[in-house]
Structure 1
Amino acid sequence: MRKMEIMDVSKTNYVKEYSENKTKINKEEVVEKKQIITEKEVENIVKKLNKNTDIDKRDVKFEKSQDTDKWIIKVYDPESGDLIRQIPEKEIIQIAKNIDDLILGGMVSGMDTASIIDQLMGLERQPVYKKQDEIQEIEDEKKIWGNVNSKLTSFNTAASNLSFSSTFGSKLVSSTDEDKVTATATSSASNTNYVLEDVVLAKAGQVKSEDQIDLNDGIKANIETDSNITDPNKRFTEDGSVIEGSFKINGKTISVKADDTINLVITKINGAGAGVKASFNSELGKFKIEQSTEGESKKIEIDGGDTSNFLTEVGLGEQLGETIENGENPDYLKKISEVDAFSTIESGFFTINDYTFELDKEEDTLNSIISKINSSDAGVLAFYDNDSKTVSLTAKNAGDDITLENDTSNFLTNLNLMNQIGDTDETEGKSVYEGTDATFKMNGVEFTKENNEFTINDVNIKLKSATETGEKITLGVSTDNEKALEKIEKFITKYNDLVGYLESKTGKEGALQGDSTANTSVDNLLITAAGIEYTAENIITSGTPDVGEILLNTSTGDLTLAEALEEGEEITATYDYKSGIGISEKMKDYLKPYTRYSGVLDQHTKMLDAKIDDMNDWILSMNSRLTMREDSLKRQFGAMESAMQTSQSQGEWLAGQLGSM
């Protein structure tokens, strides 16, 4: 085993001089001589050590640690060159580094250096804190301007509504019997009454198959079996033939309990949403399941995993895992060529109201042809009634006719739609079924209309049912006062809300006090409102000057507001007699620079955002400088602690030397 002495070359050497004759030395006369070893000299010493060591030159190396700036010794294997040991160990070096990073925490000086640094940095961060407070103030101001923008937009909408003719020109129409006649009116309609009598509704042209079409119904997929269970109310627990478990039909799970009966399980099957119906004939001992809907695509899938044994007991054991698909489509869903009743129909064409349809008997079904008719522009609705086995055609609009012709496919003839009752055209190969016009008397004058909806004197009338003999229905046209009052009140409310909010924010101690944009907005609003010359009707009056409100008076001298509206009086809310420009137009002109894109508010908000961006950039730069400042303080205090530690160590060494004399 190699042995070696380790010399700590990192410490300062002290040289003491003593008297050669070993006489008593006065301690006060001892002179300390401190030999200062430079970094260059230390490196030379290390080189000599590395060169002259008694151990294999490749085994021991003296190096300087980059982490702690201290000298360390490393011992290597002479053959592999692997590091065998390091003195001090790596862990010790890391601890030393961490201690240096903690700047010794005042361990030597006794001062709480971390707290001192925090306090110093707290003082230097005051400008950052102040700038953050300024940013918050601007953010608060942005919220206020956001509220202003919202209120301006609402007020602008209310002002615009006052400029619409529909606001003051809307009409209401009342009916003494809305089940038979209803109506609406445009703003141009006169306020008057209309009396209707002898009302006969217009009827659409229509035709229906005179004779029943011999079409077969479809067949539902089904299976009937002999059941081992014969008593519909017998509990399964009595013989144990069926146990607790489950099975699936068309993917739906049916759970069975041990004390169920066959009737209870049937109820579960029918309520499972499987699209099937189960039944049991106790007299014949037959169990049956059939599809709810007829057709070849409707099937019954019986899952093979019956853990209850129920299906086996009712005779379906052999069908487990099978699909029952013996359903059949009804004739109206089959191809024309496959139906006996359609044997005289050929591929060809037919025309309804000048709209021609093509029929392919190898592809089309009755149902597909009906769909083509209903989705076309022929203006008719076709319908097949499976109960009566008839086809009917009805014009979509009351009063419209139905014309059938050019039937090269024989389709219309086969369905018994040609030359039926009501056919007014005797031309061979053509049938016309006419609609009838609506007739009525209005204020004693007889009218005939092609359909049941029409307009007379800007009044849109809809006939819904015929009147009885001698019955009269009155339609009353009047101005919609409530709508006008609602719009006026909303305009006033939005105006007062906007002005009141701006007044509160620009007044004493308000957040926008002294803000030129806000103060200008308030002043212009008040000037615009005050600039309206309100007429003698006094519908709308100025409020108290200090608040700048606009008030609504429902009384206008001898007339109420509703009466003034009824008599068509000009309303000062919408029209200024002096300038010829309505208040709504004046307000909209005022609001336009504020509410438009890149307007006053938009630019003001962008300016505030730019301020915040500049402040955040300044804070970012300042924080970077403060971080460097904090690191510098930590290094300075660390250096102080290290110097004091070195001084203390030297003092202890000197005291020990003196004590040994």
Structure 2
Amino acid sequence: MELGLSGLASGFDWRTMVDQLVDLDRIPQRRLLREQAELFDKNSTYQSLQTELGVLKGRVEYLSEGDLFDSRKVNVGNETLVEAKIDPGATLGSHSITVSQLATASNLRGTSSIGSSLSSTSDVSALTLSSAPFRNAITDGTITVDGKRVDVTASQSLQDVFDAISTATSGAVTGTYNPSTDAIQLSSTSEIVLGSANDTSNFLQEAQLFNNGTGTVSSSKALGKIQTSASLSASIFTTAVSDGGAGAGEFKINGISIAFDASTDSLENVIDRINQSQSGVLASYDAVSDRVILTNQSTGDLGVSVEDVTGNFLAATGLDAGTLSRGQNLQFTINGGETLTSYSNTADSNVTGVSGLSLTALQTGTTTVTVESDREAIEKGINDFVSQFNKVQSFIDKHTATSTNSLGSVTAGVLNGESEVESIASQLRSIVTGEISGLNASMNHLNEIGISSSGYDNNIDVSDSSLLSESLINNLDQVKSIFQNASSGVGVQMMAFLDQQIGDEGALPDKVTRLTEQSTDIDDQMARMESLVAMRKQSLIDGFVAMELAQQKINQQMSFLSAKFSGQPAQ
């Protein structure tokens, strides 16, 4: 028999009675739970208030410590001519900008045709088109000479092409190569007409042969060019490239050393090395003119200095005897004043002479640039502050108020009776409605710039937006002082007050900490009480179990006696 089951021996449901007694013992715990729930609500509401005050502090900080009142906006009459940028506090005004000259970059152009000629002799019977150092590879196809089709393949020699032209024209047009000028010449007793719309080979283009209305057509420029991907020593320069014989060639551009190895580095390698250096130039190869060009990365009338140190790279590429095309400086005037000059097309305030104004010239011409206070941004900052101020006041009103329903039942807000909260509301209102000392008497209250209180609650309102706008136009410095005056400005006062309330050691964080500690204490108290309840419950159960055991024993004895008296065996 399981005596832990209530009443099996006694017939008395003592388990229910134990539960009821234990429930009575837990009444103090339930009171503590209700108290803890109230603490949770209060703590949560205090934290929410702290959050709202934090947002308000951010809005106040924007007004009192930032560059809001120095914010500017700039308008450019013709944005295709000039771009303008401004810093906070830039000098206000409208300016006529005339750009007379844009800045360009200087470049050093090496001599042209630095590659050797197609052939050193006029005999080109062994010079195949595929091996000849034309600027671009000759493509297979057809060309047209005096209306006759001529087949061209890269495997032909240059003499084969001359012979094919002669054959196609029945000997009327002959071709020769002049090694001294590195040019092909086609000759005829009558005007030569080259090409057709359906030619498929690029031979005439690569040979630089173009109609001129005569019977003699010669290449318009030297034909040979260097091989930019081959090693410098194998690139067929007119002047062979040397690195001094030890693979440690060196030259300088604008004082920056560039190393090269003639046997392993190609022109492409060296150009990449120049472009990745700190020399301040960009190198490129002009395949049409067969020359190397150095262009300054910075605009302006600036030189490019070059010097061979070991080897002759600069001499071989014609850069040491190159032509410097000087760049131009930016030249412009402001309001018809003296001509201002800048290496760059962007001129900062040190060049423009207008504090906080930078200009970037895009084209020559005249336009206007107007710098004005960004009143819209300032008004938005003020309106955002007013909105959050009222949100804080409404939050406090809601949680400190009492209400009565139709039955007369009164409900109090979570923070009702919390004097420190009501003090926050009143002190905030006092700051925004009070006089700002040290300012002109005509503008030392917020209501003098259109911000006022109704007097019926703690809220404020931009009651006269026109007055606010007018104040920002005509008295910006005074409006700034209302918020930023070092000793009594609204923003300065409110920042100090909010630091006292929500700073690291502020009143609200301290309050939240204390409420949290109270809640924790209740947890500890309820745990101790529950331990006592559990002990009492177990004691009751033990007592009733003992009673059941005693009752069981009595029942067994009664059964035995009854059996004796009745002559029946005991069960």
For 1:566 and 1:539, how far apart are their aligned partners in 2? 11
SS where residue 489 of structure 1 aligns? helix
CA deviation map 1:496-550 (0-9, x unaligned): 1112212222222111111133122222212222223555972143312342112
Cα deviation for residue 587 of structure 1 reads 0.8
1:610 alignment partner, SS class: helix
Distance 2:327 2:368 in 1: 27
Other-structure match for 1:502? 396
Give the direction of change, closer, same or farther, for the CA distance of 1:654–1:536 in structure 2 (3 Å limit): closer
1:545 corresponds to 2:448 = no
2:105 to 204, 217, 233: 204
1:561 aligns with 2:454: no
Counterpart of 1:488 in structure 2 is 382
Matches within 5 A, 1:292-307: none
**TM-score, normalised with respect to structure 1:** 0.59
Deviations 1:331-367 (A, max 9, x none): 8677766766696142232222222233345675655
AA aligned to 1:147 is S
The question of whether the paired residues in 2 share the 8 Å contact of 1:437 and 1:450 is answered with yes
Alignment map for 1:293-332 (pairs within 5 Å): none
Contact 2:429 2:458 in 1 (8 A): yes
Distance 1:133 1:124 in 2: 16
What does the per-residue CA deviation read over 1:276-305, in whole Å, with 9 as the maximum and x for residues that have no partner? Answer: xxxxxxxxxxxxxxxxxxxxxxxxxxxxxx
The correspondence for 1:136, drawn from 29, 37, 53, is 37
Distance 1:544 1:402, change over 3 A: same
CA distance in 2, matches of 1:605, 1:396: 61
The one-letter code matched in structure 2 to 1:448 is T
Q: Which amino acid aligns with 2:378?
A: A
Q: Is the 2:107–2:304 Cα contact (8 Å) retained in structure 1?
A: no
Whole-Å separation in 1 of the counterparts to 2:334 and 2:479: 38
1:453 aligns with 2:349: no
1:530 is matched by which residue type in structure 2?
T
> How far has the Cα of 1:482 moved from its partner?
0.6
TM-superposed deviation, 1:418: 3.4
Partner of 1:441: 333
Q: Does 1:518 find its partner at 2:421? A: yes
- Distance apart, 1:146 and its partner CA: 1.6
Match of 1:598 in 2: 505
AA at the equivalent of 1:531: G
Q: Report the Cα offset of residue 437 of structure 1.
A: 0.6
Q: Distance in 1 between matches of 2:38 and 2:267?
A: 76
Please give the residue correspondences for 1:408-419 in structure 2 after superposition, counting only pairs within 5 Å.
408=309, 409-419=311-321
- Given that residues 353 and 379 in structure 1 are in contact (C-alpha distance below 8 angstroms), is that contact kept between their aligned partners in structure 2? yes
Three-state SS of the structure 2 residue aligned to 1:401 is: coil
Letter in 2 for 1:551: D
- Provide the C-alpha distance between the structure 1 equivalents of 2:61 and 2:446, rounded to a whole number of angstroms: 24
The separation in 2 between residues aligned to 1:154 and 1:593, in whole angstroms, is 15
Per the alignment, residue 62 of structure 2 pairs with: 161
Look up the equivalent residue of 1:519 and give its one-letter code. Answer: E
Question: Aligned pair in 2 of structure 1 residues 388, 486: CA closer, same or farther (>3 Å)?
Answer: farther
How far 1:386 sits from its partner (Å)? Answer: 8.5
Q: Which amino acid aligns with 2:389?
A: Y
Instruction: Give 3-state SS (helix, strand or coil) of 1:575's partner.
Output: helix
Which AA in structure 2 matches 1:472?
Answer: T
Distance in 1 (alpha carbons) for counterparts of 2:464 and 2:289: 66
- The Cα shift of 1:143 comes to 1.6
Q: What's 1:584 paired with?
A: 491
Give the secondary-structure state (helix, strand or coil) at the position aligned to 1:436: coil
Aligned length: 436
Distance 1:340 1:577 in 2: 75
Q: Distance in 1 between matches of 2:299 and 2:308?
A: 25
CA distance 1:569–1:442, change in 2 (3 Å): closer
Secondary structure at the aligned position of 1:378 is classed as: coil
- Is contact 2:87-2:356 (8 Å) kept? yes
Q: Runs of 5+ in structure 2 lacking a partner? A: 116-132, 137-225, 403-411, 437-443
Once the two structures are superposed, the pairs formed by residues 186-205 of structure 1 within 5 Å of their partners are: 186-205=87-106
Deviation by residue 1:416-436 (Cα, 9 ceiling, x = unmatched): 433323x2xxxxxxxxx5432
Cα distance in structure 2, aligned partners of 1:189 and 1:573: 16
Bigger Cα displacement from structure 2, 361-370 vs 398-407: 361-370
Trace 1:249-260 onto structure 2 (pairs within 5 A). Answer: none
Work out the CA distance in 2 between the residues paired with 1:130 and 1:338.
99
More relative contact order, 1 or 2 (CA 8 Å, 6+ apart): 2
Q: Does 1:654 align with 2:561?
A: yes
What's the CA shift for 1:170?
A: 1.9
Deviation at 1:407, TM superposition (A): 1.8
**CA pair 362-537 structure 1, distance change in 2 beyond 3 A:** farther
Q: 2:5 aligns with which of 88, 96, 104?
A: 104
Select the residue among 258, 275, 280 that pairs with 1:357. 258
Q: Residue 471 of structure 2 contacts residue 479 of structure 2 at CA under 8 Å; is this kept in 1?
A: no
Instruction: Name the CA distance, whole Å, in 1 between partners of 2:535 and 2:372.
Output: 81
CA distance in 2, matches of 1:383, 1:639: 107
TM-score (norm 2): 0.68
Secondary structure (helix, strand or coil) at the match of 2:295 reads: strand
**Aligned-pair CA distance for 1:387:** 9.6
Residue 486 to residue 339, structure 1, CA distance change in 2 (3 Å): same
Equivalent AA in structure 2 for residue 655 of structure 1: S
- The partner residue of 1:610 within 517, 538, 545 is 517
Per the alignment, in what secondary structure is the counterpart of residue 105 of structure 1?
coil
The structural deviation recorded for 1:162 is 1.4
1:182 to 65, 83, 101: 83
Could you report, residue by residue, the CA deviation over 1:375-414 in whole angstroms, capped at 9, with x for unpaired residues?
A: 4433333456789986543323221624232222433344
* Match among 318, 340, 360 for residue 463 of structure 1: 360
SS of residue in 2 equivalent to 1:381: strand
Query: Which runs of 5 or more residues in structure 1 are unaligned?
Result: 1-95, 219-329, 424-432
Check if 1:528 corresponds to 2:431: yes
CA drift at 1:660: 0.6
| Structure 2 SS opposite 1:407 | strand
Alpha-carbon separation, structure 1, partners of 2:567 and 2:524: 65
Cα RMSD (Å): 3.5
3-state SS of the aligned residue for 2:457? Answer: coil
Distance 1:529 1:138, change over 3 A: same
User: 1:178: Cα distance to partner?
Assistant: 1.2
For 1:109 and 1:366, how far apart are their aligned partners in 2?
112
- Code of the aligned partner of 2:563: G
Residue identity (%): 25
